[in-house]
Amino acid sequence: MNMNSKFIAVITGDIIGSTRYDLETREKFRTTLNSPISTALINFYSRAVIPQAINVFRGDSWQVVIAEPSLSLRISLLIRCLLRTSLLSNSINTRMAIGIGAVESPLKNIRNGDGEAFILSGKELDELTDSRFSLSMRISGSYKFTSDCEKLLRNNVQLIDFISSNWTFKQCKAVEGMLLNKTTQEIAQDWFGNEINRSAVSRHLNKAGWDVISKSLDLFEQLLIPR
């Protein structure tokens, strides 16, 4: 590998069962991903982490580059939450495949993106099409993980997917707030434009399994930080 190369993550996704929705709803998918969700991500993480807005293509497919691979799982969950809370839906879900690999030149345009992370992410998404999971990951062999460590990470991602795919949009709202480093009081004060009791937010977090999800995200990030 070139000494000047660095690792990035690419998340490639598509809306599950998009063809069953009408044209107006599919357009909402696209505009929501491209505008409010991209804006929320970039405002929170900065362009140092998310260099460009989510690129929506082929109608229901999308892609985003994450400059810090360790944050890719947390950002994937945040995208899932923001999509459901923006559309107030308990059923809308997106498949997501995280590819982590090297890039040897500055990425100027995600639409022309090529390289290891893009290829790994695309292949993983293709495999998800016939899978019962909707979130997975694939890591370049040059990341120097042992095969057992990579299997552990992949299983961790799938467990998080199994739990988060069943979140209601209200549970997503509570988790979304925690992913954005808000307190339960702050989440309660801005609950879909109204205010609710903090205890209600805590109940949503408990039902979403936030305690175990949070620990799993921390472990993922600790293992993915380059050494």
Q: Could you read off the pLDDT tens digit of each residue along the chain, which spans 227 residues?
A: 343 458 999 999 999 998 888 888 889 999 999 889 999 999 999 999 999 999 998 778 999 999 999 999 999 999 999 999 999 999 899 999 999 998 765 555 555 566 899 999 999 999 998 889 999 999 987 777 767 788 888 899 999 999 999 999 999 999 999 999 999 999 999 999 999 999 999 999 999 999 999 999 999 999 887 65
Per the DSSP assignment, residues forming a β-bridge with 14 are 61, 95
Q: Which CATH superfamily is domain 6-224 in?
A: Reverse transcriptase/Diguanylate cyclase domain (3.30.70.270)
CA distance 22 to 60: 12
- In terms of Cβ atoms closer than 10 Å to its own Cβ (0-12, 13-18, 19+), residue 215 is exposed
Task: Name the residue among 75, 86, 17 with its Cα closest to residue 46.
Answer: 75
Domain boundaries, given as residue ranges, for the chain: 6-224
Separation between Cα atoms, residue 11 and residue 17, nearest integer Å:
19
